[in-house]
Amino acid sequence: MPKRIAIIGSTGSIGCQALDVIRSHPDQFQVEVLTAGNNVSLLIEQVKEFLPNAVAIANESQWDVLREALKHLPVKTFSGSDAVADLAGFDTIDMTLVAVVGFAGLLPTLKAIRSKKHIALANKEALVVAGELVTRLAWEHNVSILPVDSEHSAIFQCLAGERLNKPERLILTGSGGPFRGFSRHELSHVTPFQALQHPTWRMGDKITIDSASLMNKGLEMIEAHWLFSIPPEKIEVVIHPQSIIHSMVEFCDGSMKAQMGIPDMRLPIQYALGYPFRLLSDFKRFDFSHYTELTFSPPDTKNFRNLALAYEAIAKGGNCPCVLNAANEVSVGAFLAGKISFDAMPDLISKCIEKISYVANPSADDYQLIDSETRRLAVSLI
């Protein structure tokens, strides 16, 4: 029987590439649920092609458009963020791919776990914001969380067969983004257009800006901490411009494993959806003659301060990573809208961490309140 998949965020970059994978393996996967935030026209196209059991649009004002377009098809339609979360735990699915960006991925992730659905997780913010809660619930409900981020998928693959050997160090690689080597002065003058020109990966706007600011590496470090139960001080970030080695693991004897491949997000997506099997693909293969040099260097946390802020946030714990994430989402939106400069983003995030009251052990409701409070504060500071 094909594995029945729910894609939460099917119109985004990860969602569309996941559908490419499913399209290539119709005997392995069946699309059971699709959801989107606002892009109703693309969602309608996807539904007409894959004919899922149920579909939801988070933007309730688009429900009439969705319902009218699909009225002749045997597809259940819903609207609103609560409906999106509910469909993440839909009865007839085997696996939920959480592919939405930002804090919006937390509720669908929690719903899928509580419904005992295995998760392919492309939303790092769910673990950044509420890693202790998410991992504890997954353990209690016997739910597997399979990472989709290329770095965490690489670590997951490197740890295969090493169950009895705890890693000594995790090394997350990053390209360094389009501004690698820039001074603080140069960073203050970069434009949103420049920041969206990632040198190796093609991603959505928010994650592309995070990559340019190195916040993405900070969020990935926090995510890796929760996914693999490794202390943050044993998770290292290195800049690797070629993006061929996606991450590495070092063991107690000094041996290291690395997962390599051409930068293509379909590979970790397919690995997560098909796990524990590797499925045949026509993805581009690595050619050593095209890469005569692989280079590595430490990140510049003096000029790219977001990475340092992420390490500080996870060291403090409690609600600090939640504040970090919410303030970052607001700062990215403000930068893209031309309201603040690129180098003002870490200033805004730092101020929010200073001003929001510390909560040592937040509940699920606390996270919602802290996220909202931080966003209001960040907007007021802009």
Span 291-329, pLDDT tens digits: 889 999 999 999 999 999 999 999 999 999 999 999 999
- Judgement on whether residues 130 and 230 belong to the same structural domain of the protein: no
Q: What angle do CA 255, 276, 219 make, to 5 degrees?
A: 60
Residue 232, SS3 per DSSP: helix
As a whole number, mean pLDDT of residues 217-235 equals: 96
pTM of the model: 0.92
The reported pLDDT for the residue numbered 332 is 96
201 and 251, same domain (yes or no): yes
CA–CA separation, 101 vs 128, rounded Å? 12
Verify that 299 and 194 share a domain, yes or no: yes
Please check whether residues 113 and 250 belong to one and the same domain.
Answer: no
Grade residue 201 by pLDDT with cuts at 50, 70 and 90.
low
For residue 36, the enclosing domain spans 3-147
Q: Structure tokens of 213?
A: 């600011």
Residues 178 and 198 in one domain: yes
3-state helix, strand, coil in the chain (%, to 5): 50, 15, 35
End residue of a domain, out of 111, 131, 147: 147
Domain final residue pick, 122, 147, 172: 147
Residue 324 lies in a domain: no
Per residue in 55-108, pLDDT (tens digit) is 999 999 999 999 999 999 999 999 999 999 999 999 999 999 999 988 889 999
**Total of domains in the chain:** 2
CATH code, 64: 3.40.50.720
pLDDT for res 291? 87
Tell me, yes or no, whether 166 and 300 share the same domain: yes
- pLDDT for position 203: 73
**One domain for residues 165 and 297:** yes
Report yes or no: 232 and 222 within 8 Å, Cβ to Cβ. Answer: yes
Residue 66 contacts residue 54 (beta carbons within 8 Å): no
Q: What are phi and psi of 176, to 5 degrees?
A: 95, -10
Sheet strands (E) in 37-98: 54-57, 76-79, 95-98
CA atoms within 13 A on the CB side of 80: 4
Shared-domain flag, residues 92 and 169: no
pLDDT tops 70 at residue 43:
yes
User: What is the arithmetic mean of pLDDT over 24-53?
Assistant: 97
User: Do 33 and 133 have their domain in common?
Assistant: yes
361 lies in a domain?
no
Decide if 205 is inside a domain: yes
pLDDT of residue 260: 95
Mean pLDDT of the chain: 95
In a domain, 365, yes or no: no
How does pLDDT run across 145-194, given as a tens digit for each residue? Answer: 999 999 999 999 999 999 999 999 999 999 998 999 999 999 999 999 99
In a domain, 237, yes or no: yes
Q: Is the peptide bond before 298 cis (omega within 30 degrees of 0)?
A: no
Percent of residues, the chain, with pLDDT higher than 70: 99
Q: Which of 100, 116, 147 is the last residue of a domain?
A: 147
Exposure class string for 251-272: b at 16+ Cβ within 10 A, else e: beeeeebbbebebbbebbbbbb
Residue 37 structure tokens: 């935030």
* Contact indicator for 126, 134 with CB cutoff of 8 Å: yes
Same domain, residue pair 159 and 75? no
Q: Are residues 186 and 289 in the same domain?
A: yes
Q: What is the pLDDT of residues 252-288, one digit of tens each?
A: 999 999 999 999 999 999 999 999 999 999 999 999 8
Amino acid at residue number 250: E
**Strands, sheet with 235-239, edge to edge from the N-terminal-most edge strand:** 235-239, 169-174, 245-250, 256-260
Residue 15: name the closest of 145, 151, 120 by CA.
120
**Domain identity same for 106 and 253:** no
